[in-house]
């Protein structure tokens, strides 16, 4: 049994001033990550006011905005509910083959939304529009809620639920009073990732023929080359992303898990599902079956075709796999380096400046990949021409695009490390940097690694920015898949799609934390 301490009255996070060095590093990270936003502002500032007004007054604009907001709200709510229920079953219910279910819960992260859409459309060509987009984005987004909530439940305790039960509350009320405050930050952070992911999504909604802001931006850049129009639409996306981030911050409030005054035993009460056993197993199987099973079955069917195997270029496939792994690894490194100071600042300190810096760090996920790609093309040609179309710029783009995923994971991990441990290290003669490196970073390492893995698995699937920024002659699994499906050569695309699922499944498996056992259990 391990000992947990739960502080009844948590001190205000904003009571202390952040160190100047940490504040400077976080500000620098935000400035570097804001290059795409600066590009947008330059483009928009070059437009005449009457041009901006005419674009905003277009009859299509309200429909695009309504479609985007409706999709965000519906998918986020559905993923929130599914993620909470799935996390509860994985941590609080007695299941057979538990580790298998944990791996399956994370596996949808390995499937690109456009690949899932391709699989379902192959079976149901009429599956289009709002509900088709909602279904597809929900099944591929649910792990963003399931994984952090399950991790928070594992690190929590049902002791508070037991106290509520002894006071006469029912099981649902006891869960709300005892468990929900412990998992709320993780649930809100996961829901924010889902909302920002849907906001910037292009592939699935394009295949589903559902017009949103991102599809309009892609059309403006790719067809009419009206970059001012596309930049104004992207600014609207940024505004929506800021609203989402501020809303998550407000909902999160000041409820952060602290350790201090009241000592108790950390345990998780495992319940027996009984009559709900079969529905529970069906729910656990439904999301991975829809997100992974159907697309993979379609891919296997394509792979078994004789012409597909005969025309397969093994060398090109191997080269694409190597490029995908190396570029995703570089993107994960960049994302963690940018996210770490922002996450540490947000976890330990409060105030308007800290909230503004954290909010700025989340904006990259609200931008479409094509906007980030074009902004870095503009920046590299204008500032550092020698870096144009190099792997360094592409991995940096991955870091900017997916840094928010790392911020959420690192922030939650750092917030769970008791500040008293760093204070003890300082009292023993460690500098502030040494206490961070040897104490806080070491204890928060699982969250840091989870953030890096989440970035890596997402970077492997990224398409628009990769098409714009990849070095000449460098292809990834995503670009090879796109090149073949774009000309309707689905059989030739199948090996690359299958390889992408298998390669992305590795970090998804590591994210599932399958090798970690339950915390101390108490039978129901």
Name the band, by pLDDT with cuts 50, 70 and 90, for residue 158: low
Task: Report if residue 19 sits inside a domain.
Answer: no
| DSSP category for residue 378 | H
Examine residue 292 and state whether it is found in any structural domain, yes or no: no
Q: Is the pLDDT of residue 162 over 90?
A: no
In this predicted structure, which of 330-339, 453-462, 499-508 has the lowest mean pLDDT? 499-508
Question: Could you tell me the CATH number of the domain that includes residue 494?
Answer: 1.10.3720.10
pLDDT of residue 226: 61
| Position 28 in a domain | no
Residue 192 to residue 256: CA distance in whole angstroms: 17
Q: What is the pLDDT of residue 95?
A: 83
Residue 169 belongs to a domain: yes
User: Nearest 5 degrees, angle CA 430-CA 261-CA 149?
Assistant: 85
Mean pLDDT score, 478-502: 75
pLDDT at 517: 43
Q: List the one residue out of 433, 521, 508 whose CA is nearest residue 153.
A: 521
Predicted local confidence at residue 11, as pLDDT: 42
Q: What percent of the chain shows pLDDT beyond 70?
A: 83
- Evaluate if residue 471 carries a pLDDT over 50: yes
> Does 258 have pLDDT greater than 50?
no
Average pLDDT over residues 81-106: 87
User: What confidence category does residue 224 fall into, taking pLDDT thresholds of 50, 70 and 90?
Assistant: low
Can you tell me the distance from the alpha carbon of 484 to that of 389, in angstroms, rounded to the nearest whole number? 22
Q: Has residue 236 been placed in a domain?
A: yes
Contacts of 223 (CB under 8 A, 6+ apart): none
Provide long-range contacts, Cβ within 8 A and 24+ apart, for 493-498. 493/302, 494/299, 494/302, 494/303, 494/308, 495/303, 495/308, 495/312, 495/317, 496/317, 496/320, 497/115, 497/118, 497/295, 497/299, 498/296, 498/299, 498/300, 498/303
Query: What is the CB-side half-sphere exposure of residue 185 using CA atoms within 13 A?
Result: 22
In a domain, 138, yes or no: yes
Instruction: Work out the angle between the directed axes of helices 277-288 and 60-92 (0-180°, nearest 10).
Output: 130
Whether 10 has a pLDDT exceeding 50, the answer reads no
What does the chain come to in residues?
Answer: 524
Q: pLDDT grade, residue 521 (50/70/90)?
A: very low
pLDDT over threshold 70, residue 487? no
- Kindly state the tokens that stand for 229: 């129009």
Residue 282 falls within a domain, yes or no? no
Our count of domains for the chain comes to 1
What would the mean pLDDT of 315-335 be, rounded to a whole number?
Answer: 92
What is the structure's pLDDT at 486? 56
Distance CA 302, CA 115 (A): 13
Average pLDDT over residues 148-176: 72
Q: How would residue 21 be classed by pLDDT, with cut points 50, 70 and 90?
A: confident
Model pTM score: 0.75
Distances (CA, A) of 281 to 84, 154, 277: 15, 20, 6
Query: Does 506 score more than 90 pLDDT?
Result: no
Residue of 476, 496, 469, 474 whose CA lies nearest to 485: 496
pLDDT for residue 310: 64
- Asked if residue 27 is part of any domain, the answer here is no
Domain range for 413 is: 38-256+305-523
User: Is the CB of residue 157 less than 8 Å from the CB of residue 264?
Assistant: yes
Residue predicted with more confidence, 47 or 72:
72
In this structure, what DSSP letter does residue 304 have?
T
């Amino acid at each position: 049994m391990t000992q947990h301490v739960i502080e009844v009255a948590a001190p205000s996070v904003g009571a202390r001033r952040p160190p100047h060095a940490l504040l400077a590093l976080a500000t620098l990270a935000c400035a570097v990550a804001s290059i795409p936003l600066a590009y947008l502002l330059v483009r928009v500032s070059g437009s005449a006011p009457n041009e901006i007004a005419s674009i905003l007054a277009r009859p299509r604009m309200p429909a695009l905005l309504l479609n985007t907001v409706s999709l965000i709200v519906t998918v986020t709510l559905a993923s929130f509910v599914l993620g909470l229920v799935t996390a509860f079953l994985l941590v609080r219910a007695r299941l057979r083959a538990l580790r298998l279910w944990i791996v399956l819960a994370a596996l949808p992260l390995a499937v690109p939304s456009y690949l899932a859409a391709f699989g379902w459309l192959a079976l149901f060509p009429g599956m289009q529009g709002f509900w088709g987009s909602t279904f597809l984005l929900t099944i591929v987004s649910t792990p963003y809620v399931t994984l952090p909530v399950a991790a928070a439940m594992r690190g929590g305790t049902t002791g508070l639920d037991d106290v509520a039960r002894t006071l006469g509350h029912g099981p649902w009320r006891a869960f709300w009073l005892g468990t929900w405050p412990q998992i709320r930050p993780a649930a809100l952070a996961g829901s924010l990732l889902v909302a920002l992911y849907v906001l910037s999504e292009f592939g699935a909604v394009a295949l589903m023929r559902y017009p949103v802001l991102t599809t309009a931006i892609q059309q403006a850049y790719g067809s009419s080359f009206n970059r001012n129009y596309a930049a104004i639409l992207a600014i609207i996306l940024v505004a929506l992303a800021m609203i989402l981030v501020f809303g998550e911050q407000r909902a999160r409030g000041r409820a952060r898990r602290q350790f201090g005054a009241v000592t108790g035993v950390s345990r998780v009460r495992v319940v027996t599902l009984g009559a709900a056993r079969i529905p529970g197993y069906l729910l656990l199987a439904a999301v991975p079956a829809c997100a992974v099973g159907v697309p993979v079955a379609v891919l296997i069917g394509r792979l078994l075709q004789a012409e597909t195997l005969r025309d397969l270029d093994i060398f090109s496939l191997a080269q694409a796999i190597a490029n995908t792994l190396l570029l995703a690894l570089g993107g994960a490194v960049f994302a963690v380096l940018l996210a770490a100071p922002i996450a540490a600042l947000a976890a330990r300190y409060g105030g308007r400046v800290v909230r503004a810096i954290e909010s700025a760090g989340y904006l990259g996920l609200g931008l479409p990949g094509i906007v980030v790609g074009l902004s870095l093309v503009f920046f590299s040609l204008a500032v550092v021409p020698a870096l144009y179309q190099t792997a360094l710029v592409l991995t940096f783009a991955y870091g900017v695009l997916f840094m928010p995923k790392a911020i959420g994971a690192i922030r939650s991990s750092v917030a769970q490390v008791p500040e008293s441990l760093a204070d003890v290290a300082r009292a023993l003669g460690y500098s502030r940097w040494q206490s961070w490196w040897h104490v806080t970073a070491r204890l928060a390492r699982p969250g840091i690694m989870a953030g890096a893995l989440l970035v890596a698995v997402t970077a492997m699937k990224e398409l628009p920015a990769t098409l714009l920024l990849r070095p000449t002659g460098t292809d990834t699994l995503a670009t090879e898949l796109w090149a073949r499906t774009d000309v309707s050569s689905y059989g030739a695309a199948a090996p690359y799609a299958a390889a992408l699922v298998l390669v992305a499944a590795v970090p998804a498996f590591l994210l599932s934390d399958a090798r970690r056992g339950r915390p101390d259990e108490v039978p129901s």
